[in-house]
Amino acid sequence: MNEIRQPSRAPRWIRLGLWGLAVALMLSSAVYQRLTGPTYRLRGKFEAAGQVHKYRLIRSAYSTHDTLVTVPDPGSDVTGSLHYKRYNTTDEFSLVQLVAENGALGARLPVQPAAGKLEYYLVLNLPTGELRIPETAAENVIIRFKDPTPISVLLPHVLLMFFAILIGIRAAFAALFDPGGMRLLAWVTLALMTVGGMILGPVVQKFSFGEYWTGFPFGYDLTDNKTLILWLVWVIACFLIGLKPRVNEAAGRATVVVAALVMLVVYLIPHSLRGSELDYSQLDAGVPASEAIEVGR
C-alpha cells in the first residue's frame, strides 16, 4: 500500500474542488440512470377538466404478486380501463376496469414469471371523450418482472458501483492535475469494480433472473457487457500504472483518463437494455419458465 500511496502536491483547496466536481459528475450519472432505461417508470401527463395531471407508469415489478398500475383520478366520475397482453405474442389484449381509490384510478396486472413481460396501456373515459395513455400503440408500456433480490446484496452492489464512478472520476482528475494521488485512486476504483460489478453484479442477476452471467461470451446482456468493459479498462489502466511511480508517467496518466471517460460514456447507455426476456412461445410449449429465458432481445 505504501508503494501506491504517493504524496499529493496540489494545494488543499484544489483537491477539495476536484472531489466536489467528481461528486457532481457521479450524482449526475446517478440521476441520469434513474430517469432513463426501459425499467424505470414512464413519466407523462394528461389534461382533464382544465387541469394537468402527471403520471408515472410502472415498468418493473416482482414475480411474487400482481402489480398495481395507477394514474391520477381527475374526478367528475371518470372511469377507465387497463388493457394488457403478454409481450411479443399474438395474444389479444385483456381488459380490467380501473377502480378509484385514494385519489387515483388503478387496476392490477397479473403476476408473471421472472423475465416475463407484459405490454399495456390505459383508456380514460372523460366527459370530452376517450383518452388513451400513452397516446399511441407504438408507445405502449412494457413491464418486466423479476424475482426479489435481498437488500443485503442489492444495496452493496449499487453503492459500490456508484462509488466506483466517484473514485474513478477523481482518479482521472488526479491524473490531470494531481498525479501524486492518481495511483491509489485508480487501484481503489478497480477494487470497487471487481467487488461491486464482477462479484455482486452476477449475484444480483442470479437472484433476479436465475443466471449469474448472461454477457460475453455466453450471451448479449448489455448490462453484463457494460460491466465487463468497465472492469477491463480499469484492469488495463492499473496494469500500466503499476504499484509505484514510473520514470515516464504520461502513458499511465493518459490511460487512467481514458478509463474514466469510458466509464462515463458507458453510464450514458440506459440500464437494463437487451436484458433477460421470457420466451412465451417456449413457455406455451411446456418448457419450464426458468429454461425459457432468452437474453439480448
The CATH number covering residue 46 comes to: 2.60.40.10
- Among the listed ranges 1-5, 64-68, 221-225, which one has the minimum average pLDDT value? 1-5
Q: What pLDDT, on a 0 to 100 scale, did the predictor assign at position 76?
A: 75
Q: Do residue 79 and residue 170 come from a single domain?
A: no
pLDDT for 181 beyond 90: no
> At 3, is the pLDDT very low, low, confident or very high (cuts 50, 70, 90)?
low
pLDDT for 1 beyond 60: no
For residue 68, is it within any domain? Answer: yes
Q: Which of 118, 146, 174 delimits the end of a domain? A: 146
Percentage helix, strand, coil, to 5, in the chain?
45, 25, 30
Q: Do residue 31 and residue 153 come from a single domain?
A: yes
Query: What is the arithmetic mean of pLDDT over 128-150?
Result: 94
Q: Which of 91, 114, 146 delimits the end of a domain? A: 146
Query: What is the arithmetic mean of pLDDT over 186-203?
Result: 96
Element (H, E) at 25: helix 12-35
Can you give the residue range of the structural domain that contains 80?
42-146
Q: What pLDDT, on a 0 to 100 scale, did the predictor assign at position 208?
A: 93
Dig out the grid coordinates for 62 from the structure: 416482482
How far apart are the C-alpha atoms of 192 and 151, rounded to whole Å? 18
Percent of the chain with pLDDT over 90: 62
For residue 275, is it within any domain? Answer: no
User: The whole model's pTM is what?
Assistant: 0.84
Q: Do residue 25 and residue 155 come from a single domain?
A: yes
Q: Do residue 158 and residue 123 come from a single domain?
A: no
Q: Read off the DSSP letter of residue 41.
A: P
- Residue 124's identity, in one-letter code, is L
Exposed/middle/buried for residue 265 (C-beta within 10 Å: 0-12, 13-18, 19+): exposed
For residue 278, is it within any domain? Answer: no
70-103 residue pLDDT tens? 999 988 788 999 999 999 999 999 999 999 988 8
Q: Do residue 98 and residue 136 come from a single domain?
A: yes
- Among the listed ranges 177-181, 261-265, 282-286, which one has the minimum average pLDDT value? 177-181
Q: Do residue 138 and residue 65 come from a single domain?
A: yes
pLDDT for 202 beyond 80: yes
Query: What is the arithmetic mean of pLDDT over 207-218?
Result: 87
DSSP per-residue letters across 60-85? EEETTS-EEEEEE---TT-EEEEEEE
How far apart are the C-alpha atoms of 167 and 173, rounded to whole Å? 10
Query: What is the arithmetic mean of pLDDT over 227-245?
Result: 91
CB distance 200 to 57 below 8 Å? no
5-50 residue pLDDT tens? 555 566 777 778 889 999 998 888 878 777 777 778 899 999 887 8
pLDDT for 140 beyond 60: yes
Query: What domain count does the chain have?
Result: 2
Q: What pLDDT, on a 0 to 100 scale, did the predictor assign at position 84?
A: 98
> At 272, is the pLDDT very low, low, confident or very high (cuts 50, 70, 90)?
low
Q: Chain-wide mean pLDDT for the chain? A: 89
For residue 271, is it within any domain? Answer: no
Q: Residue 250: phi, psi to the nearest 5? A: -60, -45
Q: What pLDDT, on a 0 to 100 scale, did the predictor assign at position 9?
A: 66
